[in-house]
């Protein structure tokens, strides 16, 4: 038997809107995607890639792993003892033999853009702000509370509590019903929206999906 617990929801709308604003600010740094022949990319000794029609870009760890997978190599193991010049020669040599085109996802970062992802030409990204914005609009008039936001190079995870939490006893016993949103617009995973339970234990959050809880699952 559980009973509703009191909750301070006065900051919920502002936190949710600030989360949406933060996502939009990050996405505003994104550059237009570029679709280029894979074989025309050049890998330089200092780890910069030169993209035809774009210029220099620095791949992050995820983009570098994607390039390595497409070329059939294990980057860290193969080049552990290699010089920058040897690494550049081998990477560019393999790129020259590559077939087809790739879609490059880029973002601004000083003078040299960041290469965020290397995906198929037909890849269509679903931006995080579109998803969170849609949920925010759908929850208008509903007691909703932002719980957490996790953003990495590979994915974004958002947790939005709905309604009043339930108290199951103890000092840290609040259990929230939540929308759990996971999205990646760099090819790591698809979009997933689930119903879940969230319980705060110390400073960590424990999440558990409910039965048949998946609302949306979309591959990019």
Q: Does the CA dihedral 98-85-112-151 come out positive or negative? A: positive
Provide, rounded to the nearest whole percent, the portion of the chain with pLDDT above 70: 81
Q: What is the pLDDT of residue 29?
A: 93
pLDDT one-digit tens code per residue, 192-210: 888 888 776 655 555 555 5
pLDDT over 70 (residue 150): yes
pLDDT one-digit tens code per residue, 91-120: 999 999 999 999 999 999 888 999 999 999
Burial (Cβ within 10 Å: 0-12, 13-18, ≥19) of residue 1? exposed
The Cα–Cα gap between 117 and 196 comes to 29
Residue with the bigger pLDDT between 13 and 93: it is 93
Split at pLDDT 50, 70, 90, the class of 65 is: very high
The strand pairing partners of 37, in sequence order, are 101
Of the candidates 60, 186, 177, the residue with the CA atom closest to the CA atom of residue 128: 186
């Amino acid at each position: 038997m559980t009973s509703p617990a009191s909750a301070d929801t006065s900051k919920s709308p502002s936190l949710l809107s600030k989360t949406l604003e933060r996502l939009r600010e990050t996405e505003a740094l994104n550059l237009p995607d570029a679709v280029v022949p894979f074989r025309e990319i050049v890998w330089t000794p200092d780890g910069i890639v030169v993209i035809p029609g774009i210029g220099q870009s620095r791949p992050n760890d995820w983009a570098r792993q994607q390039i390595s997978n497409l070329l059939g190599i294990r980057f860290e193991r193969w080049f552990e003892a290699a010089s920058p010049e040897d690494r550049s020669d081998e990477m560019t040599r393999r790129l020259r033999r590559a077939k087809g085109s790739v879609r490059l996802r880029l973002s601004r970062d000083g003078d040299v853009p960041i290469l965020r992802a290397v995906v198929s030409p037909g890849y269509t990204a679903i931006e995080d702000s579109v998803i969170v914005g849609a949920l925010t609009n759908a929850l208008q008039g509903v007691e909703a509370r932002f719980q957490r936001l996790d953003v990495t190079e590979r994915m974004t995870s958002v947790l939005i509590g709905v309604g009043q939490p339930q108290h199951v006893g103890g000092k840290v016993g609040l259990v929230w019903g939540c929308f759990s949103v996971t999205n990646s617009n760099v090819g790591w995973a698809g979009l997933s929206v689930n119903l879940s339970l969230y319980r705060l234990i110390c400073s960590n959050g424990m999440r558990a999906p409910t039965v048949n809880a998946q609302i949306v699952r979309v591959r990019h």
